[in-house]
Amino acid sequence: MKEIGLFYAMNAAKTSHIAEKIREKLGHKEVEMILIEKAWQNDFQAYDNLIVGASTWFDGELPTYWDEMVPEIESLDLKGKKVALFGLGDQIGYPDNFVDGLGILAEAFEKAGATLVGFTSSEGYSFAHSKALRNGKWCGLVIDIENQSKLTDKRIADWCNQLKEEF
Ligand SMILES: Cc1cc2nc3c(=O)[nH]c(=O)nc-3n(C[C@H](O)[C@H](O)[C@H](O)COP(=O)(O)O)c2cc1C
């Protein structure tokens, strides 16, 4: 497995916590953490394997800092790069926009030519609509700390094992 760049926002407390857990599972040496608020285009180009995490806010939008990054991500040339996404959301509080931010990020990285990996089953979640579904699967790892915190560690462990195969 090549070195991985893990991108997340420093302002996002829960996302940062999950990012740290993912790094622990994959190995500190293998994963470099990059704060999106300080990231430059070169940081995305520097890795063949990327992990990118964000929560959903504002009824189906990315948090502000990520929102501003989307046009920039879309303009990058990320052909040949593998991107694994994770998203945080609240399926009870926001059933009509559950983890939409994950779907918005997926679209941006696809426009940049990246290959998405790390898709997971949507079974075991209860919601009405989400932009993060692709043929019935999540286009990444979905974490709901508000309602399913007991499942979080296993979801992360399974996903990290999957990434070891897919990266
Ligand atoms: C104002 C507000 C709006 C939210 N909107 C959504 C939403 O549209 N969809 C969703 O799935 N979760 C939504 N959430 C839940 C957050 O995504 C969830 O709490 C997440 O764990 C926050 O992570 P963060 O602290 O890293 O930003 C919202 C939370 C707040 C406080």
| Domain covering 4-166 in this structure, CATH number | 3.40.50.360
Question: Span 14-33, mean pLDDT?
Answer: 96
Out of 8, 20, 52, 55, mutate this one to test ligand 1's pocket (max ligand atoms within 8 Å of CB): namely 55
Structure letter (DSSP) for residue 97: S
Burial class of 59 by CB neighbour count within 10 A (0 to 12, 13 to 18, 19+)? exposed
Instruction: Give the pLDDT of residue 30.
Output: 93
Cα 80 to averaged position of ligand 1 atoms, centre (Å): 32
The tens digit of pLDDT for each residue in 109-131 reads 999 999 999 999 999 999 999 99
For 31-48, how does the pLDDT look when each residue is reduced to its tens digit (9 = 90+)? 999 999 888 778 999 999
Ligand 1 centre distance from Cα of residue 60 (Å): 9
Q: What amino acid occupies position 55?
A: S
